[in-house]
Structure 1
Amino acid sequence: MDISNALAAGVQGMQRASQQVTEASAELANPQQSNARWQQAQTESVNGSETASETLNSVPANTATDSLVSLAQGEQTFEANTRSVETADEVLGTLIDTKV
């Protein structure tokens, strides 16, 4: 793998993780909005292929617990991508030191 590709993949992963953390934080900060989105999705699923009994038995996807889990996942993903960028940086530094 090319070092520039490794750096780009790490940065892109960091950006996605940051977006995930931002979305999870927004859901935690404004639970009414998340609840409204869930109710809208439930209404759409009743009009779609799900039966009413399946809809009544389903659990809201955007609960506080799910948001907290998403927040933790985003943090861990960001840290993992940070390590990959640091590793690519070290490899690049070693290559530069070797050539000089």
Structure 2
Amino acid sequence: MEISNVLSAGMQGMQRSSQQVTEASAELADPQQTNQRWQQSAADVASGSETASETLNSVPANTATDALVSLKQGQQSFEANTKSVQTADEMLGTMIDTKV
């Protein structure tokens, strides 16, 4: 694999991770908007083991948990991609030093 491909893949991964963190943060910061989406879907819930109102009451905690998990995944993905870019940069520096 070429170093430029590694750098490009690392940068794209960092951008995707950054977007994931931004979306998860927005979801945590504005629970009202998330709650409105769940109210809409709860209205469509067919009666099963729990009613729509029981589902609605349980969703915000799950949504917050999902958002926190997504936030942590985005952070770890960003860090991993950063290490890829750093490694490619060090390899490129070593190659340049060797060639000079």
Do they superpose with TM above 0.5? Answer: yes
What is the match of residue 82 of structure 2?
Answer: 82
Q: What TM-score, normalized to structure 2? A: 0.80
CA RMSD after TM alignment: 2.2
Kindly tell me: are residues 41 and 71 of structure 1, through their superposed partners in 2, closer, same or farther at Cα, counting changes over 3 Å?
A: same
Kindly tell me: are residues 9 and 42 of structure 1, through their superposed partners in 2, closer, same or farther at Cα, counting changes over 3 Å?
A: farther
What is the match of residue 40 of structure 1?
Answer: 40
Q: Does 1:27 align with 2:22?
A: no
Q: Does 1:15 align with 2:24?
A: no
Between the aligned partners of 2:49 and 2:84, the Cα distance in structure 1 is: 43
- Segments of 5+ residues of structure 2 without an aligned counterpart are none
Give aligned pairs, total. Answer: 95
* One-letter amino acid of the structure 2 residue matched with residue 25 of structure 1: S
Contact 1:42/1:55 (8 A) holds in 2:
no
Q: What TM-score, normalized to structure 1? A: 0.80
Between the aligned partners of 2:49 and 2:39, the Cα distance in structure 1 is: 14
Residues 10-51 of structure 1 deviation map (CA, whole Å, 9 limit, x = unaligned):
0000000000000000000001111222333455xx4xxx85
What is the match of residue 53 of structure 1?
Answer: 48
Identical aligned residues as a percent: 66
